[in-house]
Structure 1
Amino acid sequence: MSAAAAAARSALPRWWATPPAGRRDALLRLADLIAGDAETLTGLQVLEIGLPRQFAAATPQVAAEFLRYNAGWVDKLGGEVAAGATSHGWSHTLDEPYGVVAALLPYNGAVAMLGQVLGPVLAAGNAVVVKPSELAPFTAVRIGELCQQAGLPTGLVNVVTSDAAGGEALVRTPGVDKVHLTGGVSTARRILAATADRLTPASLELGGSSAHLIFADADLRAAARQALAGAVILNGQACARGSRILVEDAVYDRVLDLVLARLSQLVVGDPQRPGTVLGPLVSRAAADRIVGVVDRARRDPAAGTLVAGGERPDGDLAGGFFVTPTVFSGVEPTAELAQEEVLGPVLAFSRFSAEDEAVTLANGTRYGLAAYLHTTDLRRAHRLVRALDAGAVWVNGFPGLSPATPFGGTGHSGYGRLGGRAGVEEFRRPKTVWFGR
């Protein structure tokens, strides 16, 4: 880890001394290389995490778009002049990079995640050491090779494959100036403990237990389709997915029926096959963990009734890391399914009868990453966007994460932002300069 941090440190002056147009163009070249390498990166994701090919094929372009967007900030960010701020002179600020950033990234969505993180880190002028998940190292290694092909300075982007102990060692390494983690709460606690001695700043994009709020006036078919996506995106292993489906009483049964009808048509199986919608979980441990969550919910009266799935499939899929898409109905707010991040193909349906109750249920966890609101009432939408305790609220749909808007959470979903100008500023710090008369 120290060698990787030293390599990043040695590359930093050359990168920061490169004119802004040169750094911008280097990131654009990297974006083009990632987009052009889509077939390889798609295949690696199918093999690494079982992501169905039809979804994996879209992620290189997502990564490329994050890089292109952030490249656009390289020659546009600057400091501020504080004229007249003092009586005997004038002040201005310089925005400077932190230096060496340690980026610890998860297995789910690794290609898109690399674009989402490398874009702002490099656009802000930093060097980086990437520690991918041990469950999905090969996509990061491949993108590291593409960084070399793009002509980035040697050592600017370092990819170090390791287990969790390696990640903890990396953030303790002298010469690391900032840490970014995309992961879970337990990992965040270990990372923050490891950074405490050196007071290394950190940004954390953690998990969630996000809610869909579906009101009776919504387009119910569209809302059901979006709700079901919570069990499908990244095979249910997406931090921002909506696993809690909160539905107004008057249309509860209708929405549940729509979701179950769509769920029955999902193709679960080999992620290499074109028609597969839901593949395996990332590992046997992950599959066993989800089965454990389902088994505990079956025994918990607060978890309501299991109405679909909850099993390991038999037949040709019996030996794989598959769990059938699962739905519980009548889930109470105290249930584990409502309070904790599941990170698997499991949906928890709950009822509400009034707007205030819906907000209370949605905000009733320690997380605050995302929320999904389905209504055609514009006034209600504006009220609830403010009332929902979440870093992002999507109204009547989910277009995917945009590189132009900040993304991050509140509470146990972490702090710091990726995306938009805020994402680049996350990896820069201002220096104040004062000139006397």
Structure 2
Amino acid sequence: MTAVIGPDNADVLPTELLIGGDWVTGSSAVTYDHIYPATGEPNAKITLAGPDEVDQAVASAREAQREWMSLPIGRRRDIMFDLADAVHDNIDTLGRLSIHDFAVPIRTAPGHAMLAESFIRYYAGHVDKAHGQNSEVSGKHDLNIVDREPYGVVGVIAPWNGPMVVVGLNVAPALAAGNAVILKPSELSPFSALRFGEICVAAGLPPGLVNVLPSDATGGRSLVAHPGLGKIHFTGGGVTARQVLTTAAANLTPVATELGGKSANIIFADADLDQAAILSAWQGPLGQSGQSCACASRIFVQDEVYDEFMQRFLAVLAAAKIGDPFDPEVMLGPVVSEPAMNRILGLIDNAVQGKHGTLATGGQRVGGECGDGYYIQPTVFTDVENRSPLATTEIFGPVVSVTRFHDESEAIALANDSDYGLNAYVQTMNLPRAHRVSRALQSGSVWINRNSDISPQGPYGGFKQSGSGRAGGIEGLQEFQQIKNTRIGL
């Protein structure tokens, strides 16, 4: 099903850089025509940061970080709670800006801001609880103190598919740990991040504690190469991550990463097949049009229920409404850009020509009223060989592969036969099996009978080429703290 495409132009889109609490155009900055993916038309001309603006932001952040750490710890805690309240009050606005960012449907867009609020509120509660410790040492009369201190200024590089999610996962713990943050959203999705920076100032954070610098690769390299950063957190793809790590190595700046995935979704014969079909559709091609590191793009189905599952799964996809992201009934929006659309369609065509699987549904650009936007039909390939390009490449679009398996050991082997290890999904009503399989899967997160639902209490991150470091929980706070050992001879 499709719906008429019509972006809502009533929203005010922030287009400048936010440095030191002020809107800045800058001297080395350039402009960029942001394209709304649902129509293919420009909706704003935004400012992108260059080297001069990075220098300015680092200087501003240093000063703000000193002010932040000079505040009583209870005051910092309360300001972060005020920030959580302010994000809550702006959830609708931030959700709509996320739609303008990358055309995520409105039925899910506010969830990004809600997640950010929950993480800010969680880490606000940790501000006055980041305790150090002491321990015995060989000098029995010595006092040995272990403290956790902030890095100072940290750079947080956000992907285009979830700037507000990164605000929660990375910006919130960085602030709670006592750091200042330079947030670099992609030029493809700058609006919600810029509005968040404005909310930070209004909520009482020192101006410059959160600077927001939309930029392309040039500005990103300037940020990563800056000697004033104490740490960098990068979320994105493996190719760019290697460039970030290489550039940061010049200053020996530590880098944490959350990278891509090619997540397995294992459906056993004892699963609730209706639930499994819905979860597989949403966590696969429908959710954010498959543009998620958590996308369950490799579906493994046990022989006994393969045909029955496929019938239900394809029926869910066929019923999904495609169209205007501002329509509350729309399930599937466009992919982020014309180059992304062409890349995904090229991968689909290569899979068909190379006979990497059988095309069961989709595979084409959506036409008609959606024809000017970057829409691709939900696409499913069956009988896919597990080491084919279709099963090993992170497509980052509404494309999934389906493969049969015979027994539990084969399912685990197929799932683990991947360079990635960010998420894995298991559908079963057998509790012992759920425990056995989850322990055997090489993945940072395993979701049993549910979709991925990142929460502040749970550390999130990858195995293998899906990155290093964790977001969420006490582990997420410690990513932005460095250890100091002080020993006093008594």
The TM-score range, normalised by the shorter chain, is: over 0.9
Counterpart contact for 2:100–2:191, Cα < 8 Å? no
Counterpart contact for 1:85–1:91, Cα < 8 Å? no
| Equivalent residue, structure 2, for 1:31 | 84
Taking the aligned partners of 1:77 and 1:90, their CA distance within structure 2 comes to 20
Q: Deviations over 1:183-233 (max 9, x none)?
A: 000110110010111110000000100010111011111111111112121
What's the secondary structure of 2:328's corresponding residue? coil
1:234 paired to 2:288: yes
Counterpart contact for 1:79–1:430, Cα < 8 Å? no
Taking the aligned partners of 2:87 and 2:145, their CA distance within structure 1 comes to 38
| Equivalent residue, structure 2, for 1:308 | 361
| Equivalent residue, structure 2, for 1:258 | 312
Please tell me the residue identity of whatever aligns with 1:24.
R
Q: Would the alpha carbon gap of residues 85 and 292 (structure 1) be closer, same or farther in structure 2, given more than 3 Å must change?
A: farther
Counterpart contact for 2:94–2:192, Cα < 8 Å? yes
| Equivalent residue, structure 1, for 2:240 | 187
1:288 paired to 2:364: no
Counterpart contact for 1:109–1:234, Cα < 8 Å? no
Q: Say which of 61, 72, 89 aligns to 1:19.
A: 72
Counterpart contact for 1:330–1:350, Cα < 8 Å? yes
Counterpart contact for 1:121–1:424, Cα < 8 Å? yes
After TM superposition, the runs of 4+ consecutive aligned structure 1 residues lying more than 2 A away are 83-88
* Counterparts of residues 20-59 of structure 1 (less than 5 Å): 20-59=73-112
Give 1:110 deviation, angstroms. 1.9
| Equivalent residue, structure 1, for 2:18 | none
Taking the aligned partners of 2:95 and 2:65, their CA distance within structure 1 comes to 31
Give 1:85 deviation, angstroms. 5.1
| Equivalent residue, structure 2, for 1:372 | 425
Taking the aligned partners of 2:95 and 2:148, their CA distance within structure 1 comes to 37
Give 1:263 deviation, angstroms. 0.5
What's the secondary structure of 1:53's corresponding residue? coil
Q: Deviations over 1:131-170 (max 9, x none)?
A: 1011001111100100100110111101112111111110
Taking the aligned partners of 1:251 and 1:325, their CA distance within structure 2 comes to 22
Q: List alignment gaps of at least 5 residues for structure 2.
A: 1-53
Taking the aligned partners of 2:131 and 2:390, their CA distance within structure 1 comes to 46
* TM-score relative to the length of structure 2: 0.87
What's the secondary structure of 1:34's corresponding residue? helix
Taking the aligned partners of 2:276 and 2:244, their CA distance within structure 1 comes to 37
1:326 paired to 2:326: no
Give 1:86 deviation, angstroms. 3.6
* Counterparts of residues 371-390 of structure 1 (less than 5 Å): 371-390=424-443
Taking the aligned partners of 1:193 and 1:387, their CA distance within structure 2 comes to 33
Taking the aligned partners of 2:478 and 2:139, their CA distance within structure 1 comes to 26
Q: Deviations over 1:76-110 (max 9, x none)?
A: 11111103554341311111011110010011122
Taking the aligned partners of 2:452 and 2:259, their CA distance within structure 1 comes to 20
Give 1:399 deviation, angstroms. 5.4
Q: Say which of 254, 259, 277 aligns to 1:201.
A: 254
Between the aligned residues of both structures, percent identity stands at 45
Q: Would the alpha carbon gap of residues 295 and 131 (structure 1) be closer, same or farther in structure 2, given more than 3 Å must change?
A: same
Pairwise CA RMSD: 1.1
Taking the aligned partners of 1:244 and 1:85, their CA distance within structure 2 comes to 54
Give 1:300 deviation, angstroms. 2.1
Taking the aligned partners of 1:108 and 1:37, their CA distance within structure 2 comes to 20
1:68 paired to 2:121: yes
Taking the aligned partners of 1:209 and 1:237, their CA distance within structure 2 comes to 12
Aligned length: 436
| Equivalent residue, structure 2, for 1:81 | 134
Counterpart contact for 1:95–1:428, Cα < 8 Å? yes
Q: Say which of 295, 299, 303 aligns to 1:245.
A: 299
Taking the aligned partners of 1:174 and 1:10, their CA distance within structure 2 comes to 16
| Equivalent residue, structure 2, for 1:97 | 150
Counterpart contact for 2:289–2:335, Cα < 8 Å? yes
1:298 paired to 2:352: yes
| Equivalent residue, structure 2, for 1:215 | 268
| Equivalent residue, structure 2, for 1:343 | 396
1:273 paired to 2:327: yes
Please tell me the residue identity of whatever aligns with 1:383.
R
Q: Deviations over 1:301-351 (max 9, x none)?
A: 3x2100000100121111110000000011111111211211111111011
